[in-house]
Amino acid sequence: MPKLDGILETAIHTKDMVRSRVFYEGVLGLAPIYSDDRLTAYAVAGRDVLLVLRKGATGQTVTLPSGTIPGHGGDGVLHVAFAIAKDELDCWEVHLASRGVVIEGRNDWERGGRSIYFRDPDGHLLELATPGLWSVY
């Protein structure tokens, strides 16, 4: 069987792209690698890509000179976990509080990892997790 090398993209949807950009760029410090009226793509840790798609803008198939992207979309509240260094969690908590972001949950995992949970402006549940969460992280 061929092997997978990882998850390249994770997609969430927003009702308000400007508001989402303010959050992901201003609160999480992400820099867009591509942006137009229907999506903003952010590089995360130099390898992963977070796609923030404008709700309702990706349902139709898009034909480009290079190929075709089938229509797709998503509804509801989704979850994205960001990996952080073991000694960064406390700094993140202070930073999030300074931006008015409410921490909704915390967990100390039995493998030694720690997580905090909070929401973006569209209600998506975001997690910052230190190593020791899963057997592979």
Q: What is the pLDDT of residues 72-117, one digit of tens each?
A: 888 889 999 999 999 999 999 999 999 999 999 999 999 999 999 9
Provide the pLDDT for residue 75.
Answer: 82
Q: What is the pTM of this model?
A: 0.91
Q: Tell me, letter by letter, the H, E, C secondary structure of the chain.
A: CCCCCCCCEEEEEECCHHHHHHHHHHCCCCCEEEECCCEEEEEECCCEEEEEEECCCCCCCEEECCEEECCCCCCCCCEEEEECCHHHHHHHHHHHHHCCCCCCEEEECCCCCEEEEEECCCCCEEEEECCCCCCCC
Q: Does pLDDT of 15 surpass 90? A: yes
For the chain, list the domains and their CATH numbers: 9-57+75-129 (3.10.180.10)
